[in-house]
Structures are given as C-alpha cells and as structure tokens.
Amino acid sequence: MSLDHLSSLEDVAQALVASGKGILAADESTGTIANRFDGINVENTEANRRNYRELLFTADGMEKNIGGVILFDETLRQSGNDGTRFADLLANKGVISGIKLDMGAKALAGAPGETVTEGLDGLRERVAEYVGLGALFAKWRAVISIGDGRPSAYCINANAHALARYAAICVEGGLVPIVEPEILMDGDHTIETSFQVTHDVLTAVFAALAEHRVPLEQILLKPNMVISGYDCPVQADVATVAAQTVDCFRQTVPANVPGIVFLSGGQSEISSTAHLNAMNADHSDLPWALSFSYGRALQASALKAWVGKSENLVAGQQAFLIRAKHNGAAAQGTYVGE
C-alpha cells in the first residue's frame, strides 16, 4: 500500500472519510496524555508514549476503518521498534498522517473564562516542515464553553478568525485543514442551547472561511454533536441527538464540504458510536460524509486493557480494533450494537 494516488487536497480529504472510515485523534499533547496515563498509573515518559502509539498504529487491520491518524509533533518524529518512522509505517498501511498545528487554547484577553487558540505565528514555516515529515493533513482546535453569558460574540469571532487563518495557510502549504470548533458539553445547558450555540459558532466559522478564501472542498469540519449538557437534568435520547445535530448542520454547513468528522467530547465509547450511527441510519440524503475523529472514544478501552504492560499489547490492540470496527459501521449507519 502507499498514498501515491492522493494527488490533490480534495483526494486527501475524501480518502479520510471514504466509506466505513474515519480518523483516530492520537494527537494528545504531553500534558493531555499525562492525564490519560494517570488514569491507568502509567508514567508519562517519551518511551511509554512511543510504545502506546506503536500499539495503536500496528494493530492489524486498523486500516480497514481508520483512514488517517492525527499526531502530536513528538509522535510524527518517532519510529517503531523496527526503526520505521511512524509516518511511513502508517503510509505503508494506506493510513494518512496528520499533525496537530495549534499551540493550545489560551486565556482570551478581556473575556474572563473564555479562550482563544494560539499558534498562528510561524505557522507557514511549520506547515512546510510537517509536509517534509510526511503529513498530508492538519488539525486546529478552538474551545468554546457554555454558561454564565458564555460564549461571547467576541470569543466566537476571535476563534473563527484564527481557524480561518490557519485553514488558509494549510491549503496554501499543501495540508488539508481539519477545522475544529469544539463547544464543550460540560454544563447544565439543554440540547436547545447546544443547538443555538453550535449554529452561531458554525455560522461564524463558515463566514470567516469564506472571507479568508478557503476552498471548502479541501477541508474537513470536526465539530461537537448537538447534545444536552452533561449536567442537564433532561438528557436527550439518541434519536433526538441525531435529528438535532443533522438539522443544525444542514442549516450551517455548505454542501461542498466533503466530510464532517465528529469529536467525542467525553461521551462514552458506546454513546459516541450510537449517536453517529443514528445520524447515518436515519438520513440517506446528506451532502457530506458523516464520520468520526475520536480521541477518547476510540482509546478508552485500549488504554485500560494495556495499562502500560508489554504483555497486554494484543489485548490493547483488540480493544482498539473493536471500537474502530463499530465506528466504521456507524459511519455507514450499519452498527448493530456491541
């Protein structure tokens, strides 16, 4: 296998969401992977991070359902046990490497409690370096929260502007930008509030992308689902989440975006799969592919099965493959449960 047939950014974007495929978000920064490792009592060393990522990437058959993997800078520079660089190991399986380009969500001046994602300085040069290291796509995550008057229009617009600047630089430099405006699911807000905020944010993001002349055929959108806040006393059921999410995206996402790849956002593995499945099972006339770009919802069981021990490598891989397979089915609306 190779990726030589992907000769344009449109080809790359479409390959990432080919039928039954989605994306593994394995781009946890060093601080975030520390939280994941803390949960299984594994020390956050460079060797453990490398071993864990190698477990995921060498799982036999993951390429059936994983079209691409988002990597952190350190991982893109690492190699497997046999000395093959991870980007090459993945390409040999037909899996596309992507790179997390943002430098994290930082306090937004003048807006207490809100953040704007940083990382635009020097981005053109970093894109060129990552292209040289084998990346074909990228990711930038904006973080928006709901509650106590949040989000402000100022926060929405600052993040939309940064996402659009990032996307334009990626396209110019030869990477497919994944545009990720994440509205956190924390809080006691209703699904109606989630719908309204998601609608407002996506409207602002697509206006900014248009202003920055970003060709929508060359991007993927990575959003939250429209869902009740985790502390809301009334939790919308699977069918309602699917219907509200699709309705919100029909109103805001242009038809020439090739794919929408959801984040899981702290939902359980099974809820993330069930929600995605219901969207695809209940709608056959969508203009974009609806698939996944999950971090926690693809990795939670694998981490628990592995717990940092080499003798559990196969158990960890099996757990990951099960989630990949079920989410691949959900991307086609054919998931039948666990």
| C-beta neighbour count of 14 within 10 angstroms | 18
8 Å CB contact between 300 and 324: no
Q: How far is the CB of 2 from ligand 5MM (least distance, A)?
A: 26
Q: How far is the CB of 121 from ligand 5MM (least distance, A)?
A: 18
Q: How far is the CB of 91 from ligand 5MM (least distance, A)?
A: 21
CB-wise, 181 or 295, nearer to ligand 5MM? 295
What gap in Å lies between CA 140 and CA 257, rounded to an integer?
17
Q: How far is the CB of 82 from ligand 5MM (least distance, A)?
A: 26
CB-wise, 259 or 295, nearer to ligand 5MM? 295
Per annotation, catalytic residue among 21, 93, 139, 222: 222
Q: How far is the CB of 311 from ligand 5MM (least distance, A)?
A: 26
CB-wise, 27 or 54, nearer to ligand 5MM? 27
Structure tokens at 308: 């940092």
Coil, helix or strand for 137? strand
DSSP letters spanning 74-125: HHHT-B-TTS-BHHHHHHHTTPEEEEE----EEEPTTSTT-EEE---TTHHH
Residues binding ligand 5MM (CB under 6 A): 25, 27-29, 32, 104, 141, 182, 263-265, 294-297
- Consecutive H or E run containing 319: helix 313-330
Q: How far is the CB of 180 from ligand 5MM (least distance, A)?
A: 7
CB-wise, 75 or 218, nearer to ligand 5MM? 75
Q: At what angle do helices 46-57 and 30-38 cross, to 10 degrees?
A: 80
- 304: nearest Cα among 40, 125, 92: 40
Per-residue H/E/C for 24-75 = EEECCCHHHHHHHHHCCCCCCCHHHHHHHHHHHHCCCCHHHCEEEEEECHHH
Structure tokens at 75: 């991982």
Token look-up 């956002």 returns 265
CB-wise, 210 or 268, nearer to ligand 5MM? 268
Is 309 annotated as catalytic?
Answer: no
CB-wise, 25 or 170, nearer to ligand 5MM? 25
Please report how many Cα atoms fall inside a 13 Å half-sphere around the Cα of residue 134, on the Cβ side: 26
For the chain, how far is it from start to end, CA to CA, in angstroms?
A: 31
Any idea which residues carry the catalytic annotation?
222
